Amino acid sequence: MKIIVVGAGVSGAHAALTLLERNFNVELWDVGRVEGTHPAEGMTFNDLKKSLDDPVAHFLGADLSALIPPASDELLRYPPSRNFLTSTKDPLWGFESDSFFPFGSYNKGGLANGWGANALSYDENDLSDWPISFSDMEAAYRTVYNRIPVAGPTDDDLAPYLSGVYPSQLPVRLSAADQMLLQIYNKKKHALTKLGIRIGPARLAVITDPQRDDACDYCDRCLWGCPRASIYNPALSTLKECEGYKSFRYVQGRFVLSLLSSEDKITGIRYLNTSTRQIHQDTCNAIFLAAGALKSGAVFLQTLKTAHPDIPRETEGLMDTSVVKLPFVALRNIGRPSEARSFQFNRLAIGIVNGEAPWPRYLHGELLNLTSLIYHPLIEWMPFDSRLSKKLFFTLKSALGTVSLFFPDKVTAGNRQVLVEHGDQWGKTRLCYQETAEKTSYIRQSIARVRSALWRLSCVPKGTIQSPPGGGIHYAGTIPMGKGSRKCDPSGRSNLFSNLYIADGAAFPSLPSKSITLSLAAHATRVARNARL
């Protein structure tokens, strides 16, 4: 039996591993670009600047393409050395839109090459719109937490809202600035709890056990590429596990375009060889689509075009996590010297509990203290002249932080992916997306609550930064679970094709606030485990 898994991100890696554990032969097809190695293991971010021959080229690119110009909305641009993101100018880029600006990756490991490491599970409330419950997912979550070591506490104020998270590593070390914030939180817990605010150490997919060779050494370079692979990356762990199976074959250089079908079965796969730029076909017995919600949606629509010309070539949904950042100055941390070694990503998480709302009961946020970034966009963003902005920024740096709030999404009429009938040679889809008034209102209310909480934490909030649609990087719901020809059943199997499984976020019928990555892995594991092959 020839089973093909499409996509080597988190979903594809876990679907493949689960199928291998079931003793199937698995081919994993992927474009399979590879990011360069991250230099000078053990060296901190600031030491790296001193040791590299040309640090400017490393951080900004030889042509300074990562230098963010003034008056830009961007606050961070990955340098060319971190080339896991696909440019919209890439010939393989197959999306167009005026209202939705997604990220994509054709690298082995996909977008998880640069994820924020927050590892959470969806609980019963998160899954309230799904045709399955937490108990259906629990076994898959446990498997995934065995595969992905997660650092974090089990008994803090966030724990009641983060059920289904199974940390196996000690929490990431907090900085003195984090500890100060936690101290204030504990002092004012009564008032903050009334506001529905909970704060605690983040649950992070990072190895902290000092006995392990790959344990985090707090080099402060998470964003710039973890040189020790302490942060979970499917390309460096799960896919390596897959490669230990003789029945596994990783096939690089294949960009899947559509599937071939006969009646209700997928019989083949049409793909572009990315080296020769030739289009080929191959046969298969089952397909697991795990190319990411947008690419999986595109492949599905291209398949419909020939298999079912009578069905509208647009998806039932398109969901995106809206991300809002609230910068703040923590007054009590002003003048605190910066720490030489630190974990760069958020070490604290903030939860906003909505006791009365049916969904979501919990809104997830990340409380980040600024450490090792390239700062010029932040300095330019300040409302003073550059000289004063520079001095103020570095004086306040240890006190600067942001709360990033991740807003959930539901399948909404009009938000969809549409096949462009006369797109380019490899097919194109148009992404149509608009935020609902309900979501906008919810965002506004939540921002007000968090601002209020920040004041109570002796932090001065300053402005809000909202990413445009697509900027949240968590996409879902293009082939959601439900009834209808363009949906899949609760096991992830397409309602149209009996041997097509939707193993990634495309199958999610709603997109909860909590970080998606572990749920993607759990969903892929569950789909692969229950597939009737």
Partner 1 sequence: MMMKKLLFPVWQPDQQEYQAVCAYLGLSPRAHLHKKLSDYLSKAPFRFARAKGFPLYLAKPRLTRFRIARLDLASKLFFPDHPIRHILNGVIALHECDGEEYAELSAAPSGWAVPVSLLGWGFGFAASLFITMGWLCGYFMLYLAGAPLRLAEDLAGKRVLITGVNRGLGLDLLLHSLQQGAQVTGTVRNHEALEALRAQLPEEAPVELIVADLSQPGALVKALQKGQISPDRVDIAVLCAGAKFSGVSVMTTPRLRDTFEVNYFTSVDLADWLYGSADKATLVLISSIGRWHGMHSSCGYNASKAALSIWGESLEMELHLAGKKDCKVMVVEPGIFASGMMEQKGVSRLLFTSRRKLAIRILSGAQQGRKVLRYPFWFALLTWTVCLGGRGLRYRLFARGGK
Task: Give the shortest CB-370-to-partner 1 separation in angstroms.
Answer: 12
Give the 3-state DSSP-derived string for 475-520, with helices as H, strands as E and coil as C. EECCCCECCCCCCECCCCEECCCCCEEECCHHHCCEECCCCCHHHH
CB of 333 to partner 1, least distance (A): 11
The verdict on 60 binding partner 1 (CB under 8 A) reads yes
> Which of 279, 331, 388, 533 touches partner 1 (CB under 8 A)?
388
C-alpha–C-alpha distance, residues 164 and 364, integer Å: 15
From the list 120-128, 315-323, 347-355, 393-401, the region that binds partner 1 by CB under 8 A is 393-401
As measured in angstroms, the least distance from the Cβ of 321 to partner 1 is: 30
Q: Which residues, 281 to 340, sit near partner 1 by CB under 8 A?
A: 334-337
Stretch touching partner 1 by CB under 8 A, among 391-399, 420-428, 467-475, 489-497: 391-399
Edge-to-edge order in the sheet of strand 95-96: 95-96, 428-432, 416-420
Asked whether 374 and 221 are in contact (CB, 8 A), the reply is no
Query: Do 279 and 254 meet the contact criterion of CB atoms below 8 Å apart?
Result: no
Least Cβ distance, residue 392 to partner 1 (angstroms): 7
Among 385, 413, 421, 532, binds partner 1 (CB under 8 A): 385
Among 379, 420, 432, 465, binds partner 1 (CB under 8 A): 379
Tell the residue number behind the tokens 């006369």, with chain if given. Answer: 422
Distance CA 470, CA 69 (A): 22
- The reply on whether position 88 binds partner 1 by CB under 8 A is no
Rounded to an integer, what is the distance from CA 41 to the centroid of its chain? 25
Closest CA to 409 of 318, 517, 293, 296: 318
Q: Does 56 sit near partner 1 (CB under 8 A)?
A: yes
Q: Rule CB under 8 A: say whether 42 interacts with partner 1.
A: no
148 φ, ψ (degrees, to nearest 5): -115, 110
Q: Tell me if 387 contacts partner 1 by CB under 8 A.
A: yes
Q: Is 38 in the site for partner 1 (CB under 8 A)?
A: no
**Is there binding between residue 50 and partner 1 (CB under 8 A)?**
yes
| CA dihedral sign, ordered 321, 69, 71, 380 | positive
Distance CA 69, CA 187 (A): 42
**Residue 380 interacting with partner 1 (CB under 8 A):** yes
- Number of shown-chain residues binding partner 1 (CB under 8 A): 39
Which lies closer to partner 1 via its Cβ, residue 39 or residue 253? 39
Binding flag, residue 383, partner 1 (CB under 8 A): yes
Q: How far is the CB of 326 from partner 1 (least distance, A)?
A: 23
Q: Applying CB under 8 A, which of residues 59, 224, 328, 433 lies at the interface with partner 1?
A: 59
Q: Which of 101, 134, 359, 375 binds partner 1 (CB under 8 A)?
A: 375
In sequence order, which residues have a C-beta less than 8 Å from that of residue 317 and are 6 or more positions away?
411, 412, 415, 416, 477, 478, 480, 509
Buried b (16+ CB within 10 A) or exposed e, 207-224: bbeeeeebbbbbbbbbbb
Give CA–CA dist 477/133, Å, rounded: 17
Q: Are 189 and 453 in contact (CB under 8 A)?
A: no
Q: Does 67 bind partner 1 (CB under 8 A)?
A: yes
Does residue 89 bind partner 1 (CB under 8 A)?
no
70 binds partner 1 (CB under 8 A): yes
**Among 406, 311, 419, which residue's Cα sits nearest to residue 351?**
406
Query: Is the Cβ of residue 71 or residue 413 nearer to partner 1 in the bound state?
Result: 71
Does residue 397 interact with partner 1 by CB under 8 A? yes
Candidates 63-71, 145-153, 191-199, 444-452: pick the segment binding partner 1 (CB under 8 A): 63-71
Interface residues for partner 1 in 416-455 (CB under 8 A)?
A: none
Q: According to CB under 8 A, which one of 49, 189, 430, 529 is a site residue for partner 1? A: 49
Question: Token digits for 113?
Answer: 């090459």
CA dist., res. 333 & res. 215, Å (int): 28
- Residues near partner 1 (CB under 8 A): 46-51, 55-56, 58-60, 63-64, 67-71, 334-337, 374-376, 379-380, 383-388, 390-392, 394-395, 397
